[in-house]
Structure 1
Amino acid sequence: MNILSTVKSLGLAAALLAAGSMAQAQELKIGYVNGERVLREAAPAKAAQAKLEAEFGKRDKELNDVAARLKAASDKLEKEAPTLAEAERNRRQRELVEQDRDFQRKRRELQEDLAQRKNEELAAVVERSNRVIKMIFDTEKYDLIVQDAVFASARVDITKKVIDALNAGK
């Protein structure tokens, strides 16, 4: 190996060391967002919940009324069963079974409809939240923002900032 190539190698090594030192000198800017807290506390999430309650509240109340009527009819049949003719008792039992089957079907439909709408509303809130997080990432020059961390210190937690931005309508 000649002296010129040794000097070049040493110069390259020194440059790499200097670049590595500068990279270590710059700290990473990391943020953490508690997604569950955002979905619990942000105004758009609360508005979505209120919208769902308004949309499905009437159906839920109607089903609760039907359930109460079915229970009352069942209790009445149970009381009167010893004094009823067998044919009448069987007829009323069949009616109750049919009414209960219809009630259960409507309850399932309500739950499925509610789950679907809840997912739609949740997806819209998550999308807005992600846009806000991206905006904070870009404007404040973060290197990394994570969600769903096992542990995060309050120093890197930007959840309140995200909630405030969502509440401000950004």
Structure 2
Amino acid sequence: MSLSKHLVAAAALSALSLGLSLAAPSASAEELKIGYVNSERVMREAAPAKAAQAKLEAEFSKREGEVNDMGNKLRTAAAKLEKEGPTLSEAERSRRQRDLVEQDRDFKRKQRELQEDLNQRKNEELAAVVERANKVIRQIFEQEKYDLILQEVIFAGPRVDITKKVIDAMNAAK
């Protein structure tokens, strides 16, 4: 049974359960043209998505390196204090512990700020790629006269999957 017949049958059952009646569909009723786009795959494989990821990596790699270096220095200083702790005076050990606590606080703050900035920029870049993908999907919808294009589905067969077409169109539009 074709999808349109399933839809008509489902509508008829629904109408019957509500006490309504439906006229029988005409024999010349057109088939529905339905497409499916795997959004995750588009975000993974499309050139604009890859370019956005590379842009973010370039933008944040220096800061990530600085935060990682800060963490390494903090771990080294903590290990040094633990090793030398028994031979230090009480005042010196307390001073170094306070310094470590302060450095740890700074490290965690810088880590948090980096993560917040990175998340904000990811969201901005993602929104731009999604907007571009939606424009491409709309063009395909209109040019190829689809009745319905879905992005979130549980199952979709390869016959309705237009993900590659969307990726190719996004890659072609520079």
User: TM > 0.5 between the two?
Assistant: yes
Matched-pair identity in %: 73
**What does residue 143 of structure 1 align with?**
147
Task: Please report the TM-score for the alignment, with normalisation by the length of structure 1.
Answer: 0.87
**What does residue 152 of structure 1 align with?**
156
Task: Please report the TM-score for the alignment, with normalisation by the length of structure 2.
Answer: 0.85
User: Any residues of structure 2 matched to 1:4-15 within 5 Å, and which?
Assistant: none
Shift of 1:22: 4.3
**What does residue 70 of structure 1 align with?**
74
Give the match's secondary structure for 1:28. coil
**What does residue 55 of structure 2 align with?**
51
* 1:39 aligns to 2:21 (yes or no): no
User: Any residues of structure 2 matched to 1:1-170 within 5 Å, and which?
Assistant: 20-22=25-27, 25-169=29-173
Shift of 1:34: 0.2
Give the match's secondary structure for 1:21. coil
Question: Which structure: greater helix fraction?
Answer: 1
What 5-or-longer segments of structure 2 have no aligned partner?
1-22
What 5-or-longer segments of structure 1 have no aligned partner?
1-15
Q: Distance in 1 between the 2:70 and 2:81 partners?
A: 16
In the alignment, residue 109 of structure 1 is paired with which amino acid? E
CA-based RMSD of the aligned residues comes to 1.1
| Residue-pair matches, total | 152
Q: Which structure 1 residue ranges, 4+ long, deviate > 3 Å from structure 2?
A: none
Structure ID, larger Rg: 1
